[in-house]
Amino acid sequence: MSDIKYIKTTKDDMELLMKVRLEMLREVNHLPDEYVYDEVLVKESRKYFEEGEQSTVLAFDGEEVVGCASLSYIWIMPTYSHPTGKRAHLMNVYTRKDHRRMGISKKMVEALINEAKEYGVTEISLDATEMGRPLYEALGFVASSSGMVMEIE
Domain definitions of the chain by residue range: 4-138
Domain 4-138 has CATH 3.40.50.80: no
Taking alpha carbons only, the member of 79, 93, 76 closest to residue 141 is: 93
Backbone angles phi, psi at 73, to 5 degrees: -90, 135
- What CA–CA distances, in Å, run from 33 to 27, 29, 36, 52? 9, 11, 9, 28
At 62-82, the pLDDT tens digits run: 999 999 999 999 999 988 888
Residue 1: which pLDDT band, with cuts at 50, 70 and 90?
Answer: very low
Residue 145: which pLDDT band, with cuts at 50, 70 and 90?
Answer: confident
Give the pLDDT of residue 131.
84
Q: Residues near 77 by Cβ (< 8 Å), separated by ≥ 6?
A: 85
Residue 2: which pLDDT band, with cuts at 50, 70 and 90?
Answer: low
- What CA–CA distances, in Å, run from 127 to 64, 74, 144? 27, 15, 11
Tell me which of 55-69, 107-121, 131-145 is least confident.
Answer: 131-145
At 20-72, the pLDDT tens digits run: 999 999 988 999 989 999 999 999 999 999 888 999 999 999 999 999 999 99
Q: Give the Cα separation of 35 and 33 in Å (integer).
A: 6
Average pLDDT, the chain: 91
Is residue 119 scored above 80 in pLDDT?
A: yes
State the greatest distance between any 2 C-alpha atoms of the chain, in Å, as a whole number.
Answer: 49
* Strand partners of residue 69: 57
Taking alpha carbons only, the member of 118, 117, 125, 119 closest to residue 89 is: 125
Residue 11: which pLDDT band, with cuts at 50, 70 and 90?
Answer: confident
Q: What is the pTM of this model?
A: 0.87
User: Which amino acid belongs to residue 84?
Assistant: T
Backbone angles phi, psi at 145, to 5 degrees: -115, 10
